Amino acid sequence: MLKQYETVFIMTPVLSDEQMKEAVSKFQDFLTKKGAEIVFEDHWGLKKLAYPIQKKSTGFYHLIEFKAAPSLVADLELEFKRDERIIRFITVSLDKFAVAYNEKRRPDRLAKASKEA
């Protein structure tokens, strides 16, 4: 049975734009090869961190929402730990209320709603 998850990871700010995109595509490919379905993605860009991590005060944030088997999460987090470009990550399981909330707040849905009005 597939569950829906949301993962946010922070990449080191010293990456070039090309290196950052390559890191994101690495995790997208990892998820799809393991049988996950990517539901939504959002690149939040360079943001200030709440506290320094590895002597860095900013980082590139990226969110991926996906459906996968629960066993895949441990493999994904292991990949995050192995990649030196990732300085922090968190993966959470979404319940039906969180899934409904995320569907409402997506930019593409907001754009469709404004066109219909």
* Contact between 32 and 71 (Cβ < 8 Å): no
**How many Å apart are CA 77 and CA 73, to the nearest integer?**
6
**How many Å apart are CA 27 and CA 47, to the nearest integer?**
20
pLDDT for res 1? 78
pLDDT for res 113? 43
| Residue boundaries of the structural domains of the chain | 3-116
pLDDT for res 92? 95
Of the candidates 88, 76, 78, the one whose C-alpha atom is nearest the C-alpha of residue 30 is 76
Per-position pLDDT tens, the chain of length 117: 789 999 999 999 999 899 999 999 999 999 999 999 999 999 999 999 999 999 999 999 999 999 999 999 999 999 999 999 999 999 999 999 988 888 888 776 544 444 444
pLDDT for res 109? 52
pLDDT for res 8? 95
What top-level class would CATH report for the domain 3-116?
alpha beta
Q: Look up the pTM and report it.
A: 0.84
Dihedral angle, C-alpha 62, 33, 26, 57, nearest 10 °? 30
